[in-house]
């Protein structure tokens, strides 16, 4: 529960950063989240600006050729904006404001400059405005010191920046004068903006310009209401058609005079405080609704992300299981036969050259040297490195499993919309592991496994009795057995290794405690070797899965961002004038 001694100004909170308010697009809400976040950032800045500058902004908006610039000139009493039928006449917003109005101070629209101009002599030279610039034409009339009147670019302009500038002017406005004409009052694009204005409960005057005799006000209302635009009858004003419409002729039109009189009554200086406070409340309520919508969308995306991660774990588990099955390339019988032959050869060479012992050691080194597992010449056992076979292991099975896993992720977990942020992130360069990355990872795993196996054997050798000529407890023979087991493991036989090892050693193991101890230690070491090797291979898939997890998490709004939005929502809810 939040308790404020004084209603906070939401504009004093840290500004919304649209780039931080993001989502993967799993629910199809990506475009909405981005649009609402950008809109909210503007609204927060505008709200703070409006509180600091107690001015009534009135914007003249409408489609091309409706005559809004002419009406704007008539409203202000000067030829300020160029008027005409060619498109577009107004290239940027033109404001008419008192020379003491601090329009440019804390101006809330980033990327829009404010340029002030003063009349040369008693009259103005009509201008067209400039893109991304608010041109402020200064006047000394004290009666309008609290007013800022703005002529805006066309709502249906072919230039996107012009349309955006017109909508931003609507956002800044406390009152909107919506100008339509007989031939354009039902056009789709202006109607969409009108719907947003009415939804925001912003005071709106609907002026139908160039009205012929045959078009009655009720006809306009009927058509607007049929299109879901609840314009009030009292808010519709008709300006009669004339072949030569000028500022002076419009200023004498009965409909225009009635509109202007009603407007100035509504925004009089006497009721300025109440009028602006009502507009502030409306802005706060509308912004709160948008914040609620944004928080709901982010919550939906977070929930969808949780489901996505669970599905990714399922795909990873399936890929790991498939890979483990495929790695069992040899049948149990083939593995047993291979181990029996190798171990028989090992014991046969040991038995044949039992005396003297030093000759046995030298000869036992020979097959290991041929395998490239030890260097030539005498060396201590701790220098033996049974890892040459690793470098000969084909990366094909690992890369094939990786490719299958990546394909399933893109097929099953990628958003179908190519515009969704996650769609592009999953396919970004560097996300999928390449062959070089896999090879480098395997080299690191090789080094780690070599260190572990050497250290494990050294510990085992210290616990075996020395001085015996026969039996499995000879450290040289144990080392040779581990070499054979390593070859079986890297050949894909790690799932049937226990059974094959027992079958291969059974003819050479007596009931003596030393032999049984050695067999148990070799079995335990070999089992751990197989598990570590399997984990090393699966670590490639795990790293790829972790990269996909990072892709998703990088697109989720952070908890800090969500909490900031909630705090801002509470500030708007608690705000009072």
Q: What is the pLDDT of residue 249?
A: 82
Rg, the chain, Cα only: 41
Does residue 254 sit in helix, strand or coil? helix
CB 165 within 8 A of CB 132: yes
Question: Taking the CA of residue 39 as centre, how many other CA atoms within 13 Å lie in the half-sphere pointing to its CB?
Answer: 19
Question: How is residue 415 annotated by DSSP?
Answer: -
Report residue 46: phi and psi, to 5°: -65, -40
Does residue 62 sit in helix, strand or coil? strand
Task: Look up tokens 């299981």; give the residue.
Answer: 321
Q: What is the pLDDT of residue 563?
A: 93
Question: Taking the CA of residue 67 as centre, how many other CA atoms within 13 Å lie in the half-sphere pointing to its CB?
Answer: 27
Q: What is the pLDDT of residue 502?
A: 76
Two structure tokens written together for 126 = 């009509």
Two structure tokens written together for 394 = 């084909």
Q: What is the pLDDT of residue 390?
A: 43
Sign, CA torsion 244/249/254/259: positive
From the number of C-beta atoms within 10 Å of its C-beta (0-12, 13-18, 19+), residue 372 rates as middle
Q: What is the pLDDT of residue 178?
A: 92
Q: What is the pLDDT of residue 356?
A: 39
Count how many residues are written for the chain: 577
Q: What is the pLDDT of residue 278?
A: 93
Report residue 133: phi and psi, to 5°: -150, 135
Sign, CA torsion 150/48/155/189: negative
Q: What is the pLDDT of residue 359?
A: 45
CB 74 within 8 A of CB 247: yes
For the stretch 265-274, contacts whose Cβ atoms lie closer than 8 Å and that sit 24 or more positions apart, written own/partner, are 266/175, 266/203, 267/56, 267/58, 267/146, 267/147, 267/174, 267/175, 269/146, 272/54, 272/56, 272/146, 273/54
Q: Which stretches in the chain have pLDDT values below 70?
A: 1-8, 11, 84-90, 120-123, 183-187, 213-216, 243-245, 327-334, 348-394, 464-474, 476, 490-496, 510-517
Q: What is the pLDDT of residue 6?
A: 44
Whether cis (ω within 30° of 0) applies to the bond prior to 53 is: no
For the stretch 373-382, contacts whose Cβ atoms lie closer than 8 Å and that sit 24 or more positions apart, written own/partner, are 373/483, 381/457, 381/458, 381/461, 381/475, 381/479, 382/454, 382/457, 382/458
Q: What is the pLDDT of residue 173?
A: 95
Does residue 454 sit in helix, strand or coil? helix
Q: Which helix (H) or strand (E) holds 137?
A: strand 133-139
From the number of C-beta atoms within 10 Å of its C-beta (0-12, 13-18, 19+), residue 177 rates as buried
Q: What is the pLDDT of residue 8?
A: 64
Residue pLDDT, tens place only, 447-499: 777 788 778 877 877 776 655 544 555 676 777 777 777 777 766 666 667 77
Residue pLDDT, tens place only, 237-277: 888 877 666 777 888 888 899 999 999 999 988 889 999 99
CB 319 within 8 A of CB 538: no
Tell me how far apart the alpha carbons of residues 73 and 66 are, in angstroms, rounded to a whole number: 14
Query: What torsion do the CA atoms of 415, 309, 538, 541 make, to the nearest 10 degrees?
Result: 20
């Amino acid at each position: 529960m939040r308790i404020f001694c004084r209603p906070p100004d939401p504009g004093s909170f840290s500004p919304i950063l649209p780039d931080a308010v993001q989502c993967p697009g799993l629910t199809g809400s990506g475009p909405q989240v981005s649009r609402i976040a950008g809109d909210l950032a503007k609204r927060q800045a505008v709200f703070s600006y409006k509180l600091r500058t107690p001015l009534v902004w009135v914007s003249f908006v409408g489609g091309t050729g409706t005559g809004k610039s002419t009406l704007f000139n008539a409203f202000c009493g000067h030829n300020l904006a160029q008027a005409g039928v060619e498109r577009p006449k107004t290239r940027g917003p033109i404001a008419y404001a008192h020379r003491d109005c601090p329009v440019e101070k804390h101006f809330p629209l980033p990327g829009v400059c404010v340029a002030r101009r003063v009349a040369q002599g008693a009259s103005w030279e009509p201008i067209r405005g400039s893109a991304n610039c608010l041109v402020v034409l200064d006047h000394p009339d004290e009666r309008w010191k609290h007013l800022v009147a703005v002529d805006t670019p066309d709502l249906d302009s072919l230039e996107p920046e012009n349309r955006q500038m017109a909508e931003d002017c609507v956002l800044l406005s406390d009152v909107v004068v919506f100008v339509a004409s007989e031939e354009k009052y039902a056009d789709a694009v202006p109607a969409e903006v009108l719907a947003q204005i009415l939804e925001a409960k912003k005071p709106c005057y609907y002026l139908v310009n160039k009205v012929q005799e045959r078009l009655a006000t009720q006809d306009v209302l009927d058509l607007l209401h049929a299109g879901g635009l609840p314009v009030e009858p009292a808010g519709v004003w008709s300006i009669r058609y004339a072949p030569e419409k000028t500022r002076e002729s419009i200023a004498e039109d009965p409909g225009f005079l009635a509109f202007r009189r009603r407007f100035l009554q509504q925004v009089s200086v006497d009721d300025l405080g109440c009028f602006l406070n009502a507009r502030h409340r409306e802005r706060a309520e509308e912004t709160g609704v948008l914040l609620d919508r944004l928080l709901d969308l982010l919550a939906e995306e977070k929930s969808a992300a949780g489901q996505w991660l669970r599905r990714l774990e399922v795909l990873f588990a399936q890929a790991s299981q498939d890979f483990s099955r495929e790695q069992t390339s040899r049948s149990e019988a083939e593995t047993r036969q291979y181990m029996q032959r190798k171990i028989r050869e090992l014991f046969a060479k040991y038995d044949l050259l039992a005396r003297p012992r030093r000759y046995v050691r030298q000869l036992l080194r020979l097959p290991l040297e041929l395998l490239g597992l030890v260097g030539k010449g005498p060396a201590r056992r701790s220098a033996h490195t049974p890892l040459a076979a690793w470098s000969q292991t084909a990366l094909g099975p690992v890369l094939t499993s990786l490719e299958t896993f990546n394909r399933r992720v893109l097929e099953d977990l990628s958003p179908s919309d190519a515009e969704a942020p996650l769609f592009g992130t999953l396919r970004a360069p560097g996300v999928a592991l390449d062959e070089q990355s896999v090879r480098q990872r395997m080299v690191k795993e090789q080094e780690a496994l070599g260190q572990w196996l050497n250290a494990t054997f050294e510990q085992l050798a210290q616990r075996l009795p020395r001085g015996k000529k026969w039996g499995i407890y000879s450290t040289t023979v144990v080392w040779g057995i581990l070499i054979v087991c390593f070859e079986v493991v890297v050949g894909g036989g790690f799932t049937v290794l226990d059974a094959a090892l027992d079958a291969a050693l059974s003819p050479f193991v007596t009931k003596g405690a030393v032999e049984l101890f050695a067999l148990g230690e070799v079995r335990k070491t070999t089992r751990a070797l197989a598990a570590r090797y399997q984990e090393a291979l699966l670590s490639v898939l795990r790293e790829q899965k972790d990269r996909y997890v990072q892709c998703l998490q990088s697109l989720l709004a952070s908890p800090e961002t969500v909490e900031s939005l909630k705090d801002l929502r509470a500030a708007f809810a608690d705000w009072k004038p």
